[in-house]
Structure formats: structure tokens, C-alpha cells
Amino acid sequence: MSPRDMSYQALMARKNEIMKSSLGMDYDNYIFSPIAFDYERMMADTGYTMEEIFRIQGETKVGHTPLYELHNLTEAVRRISPSGKGARILVKDEANNASGSFKARRASISVYEAARKGYKGIVAATSGNYGAAVASQAVQRKLKCIIVQEVYDSRGVGQPEIIEKGRACEAYGAEVLKLTVGPELFYMQLRTLEETGFFNASLYTPFGIRGVESLGVEIAQQTRELLGKDPDAVVVTHAGGGNLTGTARGLQYAGCNSTRVIACSVDLTGLHMASDTDFNRKSFTTGHTGFGVPFATWPDRTDVPRNAARSLRYMDEYHVVSQGEVFYITELLTKIEGLERGPAGNTSLTAAVSLARQMNRDQIIVVQETEYTGAGKHQNAELSFARENGIEVRRGDPADNLPGKTIVIPERLEQVQSRVKDLDHLRLEYLGNAAKRLPASGWSESDIQFLADDVKKDPQWIRENFLTNN
């Protein structure tokens, strides 16, 4: 038999067949048009109850992380807030999971599913904490693990944060394929899946999102136990959307029907995530607008036929903050609360500080996760790397921050001010992307209902705000 053609074009042509065999699920069972599918049935067909998710995660050191009230930070915020303002700020310390981030929840169900279906190993494509989470879970389930990681620019230079995450993957026993930025990542993921026959622990499968649901449930339970009421707002660092989707679904499961789910990303406007020259001119490899906006406005840009992470379905607000503001809050958390946590995980905390100033004192805002820090993930390493790449780092007004050129670290807490993105603009951009897959003139009633659900509006809103102009 002649060897298979492993050229880029040939491998891309086999993408659907590779994905089907590496996931053990057939997306065709759910898809009913180029844009619409039965989302809730796909999620339900994972087959796991919430009780089973908690049991599975408990077997591999995941979940039941502490919820802390940040008394000193709340007090500092109240000193700069109008009279009667300054909500209580709480943080869910996800750094206590095996592997040091909430991604352990996401990996736990995927790895369990792989073991249950008889796969011998796991493949995951990631530059972030997810790789370490998959590797940590795989070794506990006695499965092999290969992490395909985007590390270097064309000069062979890698960001200290990404290098640290690769080190963590290797520490847990994974083989790490370290690549340059660009299309090589997806090519190598497909090739590795085909050659090994391993399970695809994609970030965007229903199994991964179901794993995050336990985080939302725990936030609801612990806030009620600690303060006797539901949180008024939960702030979620937003990148590809799985963090927000899973947490929001868990909050809904727990009955937190009036809790606002607020997304937050680091503003990296102007930097292209697939650009070789821009790759090392950012200090955040995740939780930024380079992922947050594209994935909100078209979730199905992933390595699976339909993305289970659909952030606009669950998002009530979307805020952005600057890199300098996140570094400032990271340092402040260490100095006044005694919690040294990774800057990327403090993105949502930065927005929470700004939001708390506008909320009443008797209200509760929960920061939904933290992540471990150390080595390349530490803010000092990231700022040093920024300087080495010609980026000016200085103190001043964070409004002067220019992504890829200047990181301006606030001088005072009152300078930390998140900015609100226009959700309706994002919704219309999403609908425009849907129309590129299927012209709006061909949308059926079921398509319109799906799109309405996906942007958290009713069908009439779509007709009035999009279809009348298209």
C-alpha cells in the first residue's frame, strides 16, 4: 500500500475524517445547516451528570478550590469609590487545582472520556495552561500525552511564559512538539492525531466545556455558604470562550438566574495573533482580544466541526483592560492580599476592581479564577521580555498604553478603569460572519432561532437589526 500523502493540502482534505476518529463522536448527528446545530443535545449527549463530573474530577485532584473574600482589596477600592459604593470582591482560587489553573477542570473530563473509550493517549494543541492540565490528567489516567505547542517566532525566540508552560508539560511526562507561530500548529496536530490514533483533547469539545461547569456550580454554592446570597456578578477572563461558557452554564445549573456574567480581555488591539513579528510583542498569550473578539464573533473557527464554547450565548457585558493595569493589580494582590498568582489569571480581577467601584457595598462580585505563577509566568519575567523586544515599560496613565509599543503601569489604584465593548456590535459582526457561510436570504426559521440563541437575543431582534439591512 502506498504511503499516505502528508502534504499540507492533503492533510487538510482529510481533516473531517481525522477529527471524527480522534473524538469518537459524529458532529453530523447535530448539524442541520451550514450555521446551525442542536447545541443543547450535543452537550447533553456527553452523558455526564453534574454529580458524575464532580466525582471524576475528585479522582484526579480537581475542583473544590477555595473561595476567598479579598478584604484588603475591597477596603482599598472603597476608599476611592463614591459613598455607598464598593462591592465585596471574592476570588475563586483555581491555582489550587492539579496543574495550577482552571484548565484542569476542562482537561479532566476529556481525559476521562479518552480512557473510557479505550484510547491509548491524548493529543492537545495549545500554548497555554491547558497543555499542562492535559498532561497532568493524562498521567493520572495512565495515558500517553503529546502536546503540540506554538512557542517560537522565526528567529527561534520564545516567550518566557510559553516556555514555562512547555516545561510544566514535560514535568508531567508529556512529549512536547515545539513549533513556530502560524499554520504549522494545526498541521502538526492533525498529523499527530492521524499517526498515533490518540484522542483529540481539543479545547472546544463538549467534554471540555462540561468540565468547567463544576466551577460555576462551586461559585454559587460557596458564595451562598459564605455570604448567604448569590453573587451579583461573576467576572471571567475571556479568550476562546470555554471559560465563560462553562462557568455560566454551571451558574445556570445552580439557579443563579440574576447573576451577571461579565467577560474581560486584555486589550491587544492592533496585534495580529498569527503574525511572526507581533507574536513576541505581547505579554499575554491568552485572555486577550486577539482571541476574545474573533471567537466571540465566530466560535466555529476551531479544530472541531462545531465549537461547544459559545460565549455570546452567556455574556452580559464585555470589558477590556490594558496590560499595564493587569500587571499593577497582580502586584497589588501579592502585596496586600498575600496571593502571588499569574498575571493572565488576574485579567478578570482587574476588571472586577473597576466594576466594584460602580456597585453598591452590599453587592458581591466574584473573580472566577486564578492561575499559578513562577519562572516565565511571573510579571517580572514578562516585563523584562517586553523591554528586550523594544517595548517601552513605564509608570503613568494606562490610557497611554499602546499594544506592542508601550506598557504603561498605573501609579494609583483609581487609574484602573476597564472599558466596555459594544455587545450589539459584536453580535452584528457574528451575524455577518454567519451570512458568509450561508447567505441571510437562505436562513430558515430554525437558523434564525439558533442565531438568536447564540447572541442572547430573540428572533425579532435579528430581523430588525440585521435582516432588514441584508
The answer to whether 265 touches 295, Cβ cutoff 8 Å, is no
Give the dihedral sign, CA 326/93/106/152: positive
Q: Do domains 8-18+101-205 and 53-98+207-420 have the same CATH topology?
A: yes
Q: Which cell numbers hold the place of 373? A: 505563577
Predicted local distance difference test score (pLDDT) of residue 345: 87
Predicted local distance difference test score (pLDDT) of residue 1: 40
C-alpha span between 173 and 261 (Å, rounded): 36
**pLDDT tens sequence for the chain (470 residues):** 447 888 888 888 888 888 889 988 899 999 999 999 999 999 999 999 999 999 999 999 999 999 999 999 999 999 999 999 999 999 999 999 999 999 999 999 999 999 999 999 999 998 778 999 999 999 999 999 999 999 998 899 999 999 999 999 999 999 999 998 877 888 899 999 999 999 999 999 999 999 999 999 999 999 999 999 999 999 999 999 999 999 999 999 999 999 999 999 999 999 887 788 888 889 888 899 999 999 999 999 988 899 999 999 999 999 999 999 999 999 999 999 999 999 988 999 999 999 999 999 999 999 999 999 988 899 999 999 999 999 999 999 999 999 999 999 999 999 999 999 999 999 999 999 999 999 999 999 999 999 999 999 999 999 999 999 87
CATH number of 53-98+207-420: 3.40.50.1100
Q: Which cell numbers hold the place of 112? A: 476521562
- How many residues are given for the chain? 470
Predicted local distance difference test score (pLDDT) of residue 85: 98
What residue type is assigned to position 327 of the chain? F
C-alpha span between 9 and 21 (Å, rounded): 19
What residue type is assigned to position 70 of the chain? L
Q: Which cell numbers hold the place of 82? A: 463614591
Predicted local distance difference test score (pLDDT) of residue 65: 98
The answer to whether 30 touches 41, Cβ cutoff 8 Å, is yes
Predicted local distance difference test score (pLDDT) of residue 251: 98
For domain 8-18+101-205, say whether CATH 3.40.50.1100 is its number.
Answer: yes
**Sheet of 67-69, strand order:** 67-69, 88-92, 364-367, 233-237, 260-266, 317-321, 419-420
All structural domains of the chain with their residue ranges: 8-18+101-205, 53-98+207-420, 423-469
Predicted local distance difference test score (pLDDT) of residue 374: 85
Predicted local distance difference test score (pLDDT) of residue 213: 98
